[in-house]
Amino acid sequence: MSKEFFPNVPKIKYEGPESDNPFAFKFYDPDKKVAGKTMREHLRFSVAYWHTMTGDGSDPFGVGVNIRPWLSITDKMEQAKARMHALFEVLDKLDIDFFCFHDRDIAPEGETLRESHRNLDEIVSLAKQLMGEHKVDLLWGTACLFQHPRFTHGAATSCNADIFAYAAGQVKKAMEVTKELGGHNYVFWGGREGYDTIWNTDMKLELDNMARFLEMAADYAKKIGFNGQLLVEPKPKEPTAHQYDYDVGNILAFLLGYGLADRFRINIEQNHAILAGHTFQHEIRLARQNGMLGSLDANQGDYLLGWDTDQMTTSIPEAVAVMYEVLHTDGLAPGGMNFDAKLRRGSFEPDDIFLGHIAAMDTYARGLEIAARMKDAGTVDTFVADRYSSWKSGIGAEIVAGKHDFDSLEKYILDKAPIEITSGRREWVEAEINRFI
């Protein structure tokens, strides 16, 4: 290792639930087998470069507060390089195998797109070298199409066609570098793709343009031989009042409507799910039952606040719900669990980077173990299967097989009485989790 950025922080090891060492895992034991795979294989944790490395702790009411060792370097490119080195120390010490980034998180923006490309290339070649040395993979890359003033009215959905072209040039490059780094996925989060008031908006043109943009992106991925998954990330609001990629249901309708559904999958984030008025579990379930589950932005929102706080997950019931859904799929790969999570503004010391990730990793490890035990016991799955048993035989099976219409169903039911229904047992089923905690 070159320079050490976090000399106070040791390599984080599993010490078990009895340990009171803050710099140890209590539940995440990477090589422990759960439900046939190691925790590491199930969870595929990833560090989000923007929150963990680039984020400064500022909020709409206050300036940056984070203490970060690389901030003393004034040259922008030198600072970017130091920060990239620091990432690998974070990954090594936390034993995390993946990271994710936006182009502008890792390299400073230049005067022109050409200069930005050049800056990016320089940092990407450093990242590539470090990835090889540290055996780390890129979960996904993406482009920041929301920070610079040019994107005030959106990128692919801007009213200005030159901005659409700029976004195309920027995403083209971001896809190339994602491929260069062997990225497993590429993410499209519609930064400012939406509107603040429909009165000044040509919504039809904007949505058509968003589809044109995604189609060009998918074509370009094919052209350069990028084989990773292409993922769209839903979010209902913020920064715009109405984001077009509202939720999983809206993205599905959009992709199906524009004939793009077989080219994209979905990257789902907990905080965005709850902002849309859904649970994370609902969004994951809807995506997976449509074959669209791509990857997860593993964070948690504050139920008291109406914005995207992107907190580290510490809620066990949340984690159990996520892992229960994941265990009912073939797993997340090539997706993973990206900690799209930032430390609270009050947690501004460098050590908090580690404590925050340990908290979330332990929470998901517990979620995984609890969900695996629940799935093994099978009480919930059996209850749900029994609840729908009328669809397995008789009239239910016939309806499913397409053997009925309104005439035949009326005839079947006309004189049948009484029809019995049974309890949904909501309280029992929700409390089943508690038995396995």
Q: Is 193 helix (H, G, I), strand (E, B) or coil?
A: coil
Give kind and range of the element (H or E) at residue 294: strand 293-297
Contacts with ligand XLS: how many residues (CB under 6 A)?
Answer: 10
DSSP character for 181?
T
Least distance to ligand XLS, CB of residue 307, Å: 10
| 34 counts as binding ligand XLS under rule CB under 6 A | no
d(CA 437, CA 139): 30
Q: Side-chain half-sphere of 117: how many Cα atoms within 13 Å?
A: 12
DSSP character for 311?
B
Output Rg (C-alpha) for the chain, integer angstroms.
24
Choose from Ni ion, ligand XLS, none: what does 142 bind? Cβ within 5-8 Å by kind: ligand XLS
Give kind and range of the element (H or E) at residue 365: helix 350-377
Residues 218-247 that bind ligand XLS (CB under 6 A): 233, 235
Instruction: Tell me which stretch binds Ni ion (CB under 5 A): 4-12, 100-108, 150-158, 305-313.
Output: 305-313
| 245 counts as binding Ni ion under rule CB under 5 A | no
Instruction: Tell me which stretch binds Ni ion (CB under 5 A): 5-13, 97-105, 170-178, 336-344.
Output: 336-344
Tokens 């780094």 sit on residue: 181
d(CA 437, CA 428): 15
| 308 counts as binding ligand XLS under rule CB under 6 A | yes
Choose from ligand XLS, Ni ion, none: what does 143 bind? Cβ within 5-8 Å by kind: none
Question: Token pair of 173, please?
Answer: 């490059």
Residues 50-109 that bind ligand XLS (CB under 6 A): 102
CA distances from 69 to 82, 87, 359 (A): 9, 12, 22
- List the one residue from 105, 193, 247, 308 that touches Ni ion (CB under 5 A): 308
**DSSP letters spanning 122-173:** HHHHHHHHHHHHHT-EEEEEE---SSSGGGTT-STT-SSHHHHHHHHHHHHH
105 as an active site residue: the answer is yes
- List the one residue from 89, 340, 352, 362 that touches ligand XLS (CB under 6 A): 340
Question: x/- string (CB under 5 A) for Ni ion, residues 58-77?
Answer: --------------------
405 as an active site residue: the answer is no
Among residues 97, 103, 105, 362, the one annotated as catalytic is: 105
Choose from Ni ion, ligand XLS, none: what does 187 bind? Cβ within 5-8 Å by kind: ligand XLS
- List the one residue from 29, 97, 103, 269 that touches Ni ion (CB under 5 A): 269
CA distances from 368 to 12, 53, 97, 292, 316 (A): 20, 27, 18, 21, 10
Least distance to ligand XLS, CB of residue 436, Å: 30
Give kind and range of the element (H or E) at residue 399: helix 394-400
| 119 counts as binding ligand XLS under rule CB under 6 A | no
Give kind and range of the element (H or E) at residue 130: helix 113-134
Cβ neighbour number for residue 147 with a 10 Å cutoff: 14
Query: Which is closer to ligand XLS, CB of 269 or CB of 325?
Result: 269
Contact between residue 313 and residue 363 where contact means Cβ atoms under 8 Å apart: yes
d(CA 274, CA 283): 9
| 193 counts as binding ligand XLS under rule CB under 6 A | no
Provide the β-strand partners of residue 339: 47
Query: Which is closer to Ni ion, CB of 310 or CB of 318?
Result: 310
d(CA 150, CA 164): 10
Least distance to ligand XLS, CB of residue 268, Å: 10
| 297 counts as binding Ni ion under rule CB under 5 A | yes
Least distance to ligand XLS, CB of residue 423, Å: 39
Q: 121: Cβ–Cβ under 8 A, 6 or more apart, which residues?
A: 177
| 247 counts as binding Ni ion under rule CB under 5 A | no
| 318 counts as binding ligand XLS under rule CB under 6 A | no
Choose from Ni ion, ligand XLS, none: what does 176 bind? Cβ within 5-8 Å by kind: none
| 142 counts as binding ligand XLS under rule CB under 6 A | yes
Give me the residues that bind Ni ion (CB under 5 A), please: 269, 271, 297, 308, 310, 340
Catalytically active residues are 102, 105
Residues that bind ligand XLS (CB under 6 A): 102, 142, 187, 189, 233, 235, 269, 297, 308, 340
